[in-house]
Every structure is written in C-alpha cells, then in structure tokens.
Amino acid sequence: MNAIKRIAAIDIGNSNIKAVVDNKKITCDYSSDWIDKISSFLDSNLIPNSIVGISSVQPERYNQLIKKIKYRVITADELLKNQKIIDFSEIEGIGNDRLLGLIGASINFSSPLITVDCGTAITINLLNEKNKCEGGVIFAGIETQLEALSSKAALLKRVDLYLEDDIIGKNTDSAIRNGIIKGVAGSILYIVENIIKQYGYENNINLILTGGTSKLIQPLLEKTNPKFHFDENLVLNGLIHLINHSFGTDFAKY
C-alpha cells in the first residue's frame, strides 16, 4: 500500500464551509459554486493517496460534496468512534463539531477547559481535569437571533453587525446591534462564570473562543476575562489530530 502523502480537513457548518491543507485554507458560503470551489482547492493542494477528513452538520451538503471528491474520505463519525483522547461516555447526543472542538482545544491547552463556539448556535462545552466531557450549553447565535428578530417583528429590519463603543443605542439599528452582540457576550460570560464556580475551577481553567462570529464579541470577553484565548480552527485541528492518531501520521495542525 502506498503511504499517505497529505491530508485535508473540511468543516461543513450551517453558515459556511472551511477546508485546510497544510497551511492553506479556504472559507466560503453556500453560493451556487461552493462545491466547485472546495473541490478545486483540494485538487490544487492534494496528491494521490491523500485523505480528506470531514465533519458536517449538514448531511445534504456532505452528500453533494463527496460526489466531487476523488480522494479517500473519512468522516468524523469514523474518527471519533474509537478515539481515547477524551471521555464522552456520559454525554448523549453531543454533536461531532462540539466533540472535535474539545479535542482541538486539548492539543494546545491543558484541561480543565471550556470551549465557546460562536456560529449559528452558541455552544459552551466543559472538559474537566481528567479529560472527561461534562456536557455544555446551547443557545441561539448572533446571526440566528438577528434573523429571528427581523422575521418576527414587522418593523424591525436586519442591521449590519459590528461592535459599538456605547451600550445604549441612539437609534433602532444601534439598539438592535448592541442588544444582540452585547447580549450574547453577557450570556457567555454569565454561563462561563457559573460553570467555573460550580466546578471549582477559579484558578486553573482555560477558556477558548472559536467560531464564525466570535470576533464580534472577542474584545468584550477578553476585556472582562483575560483568560479567554482565540483559536478559529478548533474543529479542523481536532480532525487533523484524529487522522494523525488513527493512521500513525504526523501532519502539523493548521
């Protein structure tokens, strides 16, 4: 059997898709040509005997994509089935993206740790000092809250999202923007603070922030709690780590 020459990691999310090969990365939304963009990226950077690891929360888009991939595909389900890095034995129904995020975080940060993934949903996940997942919290993300508000309230429209200095809005757009962005930041800080208190981790916890909208709230979280670290590639690094572990390879994290 020929040796594996290279790997790619792909994260198919609700809002966008990310792929990495070595130190090269592509991120795209689900416009009409997204499949061509991803397959072209793979063909430009992979060679025969390569492996493509895929995590997906979108089964239909996963099925569309793999029809265009000419390399060996291994899913997150396969990679996670026999992994011994983290104990998930007492958690039911947890998504692969959350599991891979914890594995990705554990590469560079010691446990106990909390990951905060800001995407379509906000997920907050706790890994204890014995590398056992204790579970987590899920609530609507920034874009999801904005979409719900604009679709349910006839007089409230979608607004551009960016971080303002003042917390009080002087007009409706500003009030919506501040309410959602700072409301999400406040929710995260409240939940994280109470997890830390409940488990007694006041002095030895790592907090890792990731996800597509995380940069909107990163300054607020870091200002309030300087223990927050930002790593935008937790899921991708988790995939790469599991492929290395499963196939005895030594590919660098992204």
For residue 16 the two structure tokens come to: 């966008």
Phi-psi region of 158 (alpha: psi -120 to 50; beta: other; left: phi over 0): beta
Among positive and negative, which fits the CA dihedral 181, 191, 100, 92? negative
Burial (CB count within 10 angstroms: exposed 0-12, middle 13-18, buried 19+), residue 175: middle
DSSP letters spanning 14-27: SS-EEEEETTEEEE
Instruction: Count the neighbouring beta carbons within 10 Å of the beta carbon of residue 56.
Output: 21
User: Looking at 33, 77, 97, 166, which residue is catalytic?
Assistant: 97
How far apart are alpha carbons 1 and 32 in whole angstroms? 38
CA dihedral 112, 76, 120, 13 (to 10 degrees): 140
In this structure, the chain runs to a length of: 254
Can 97 be counted among the known catalytic residues? Answer: yes
Active site residues: 97
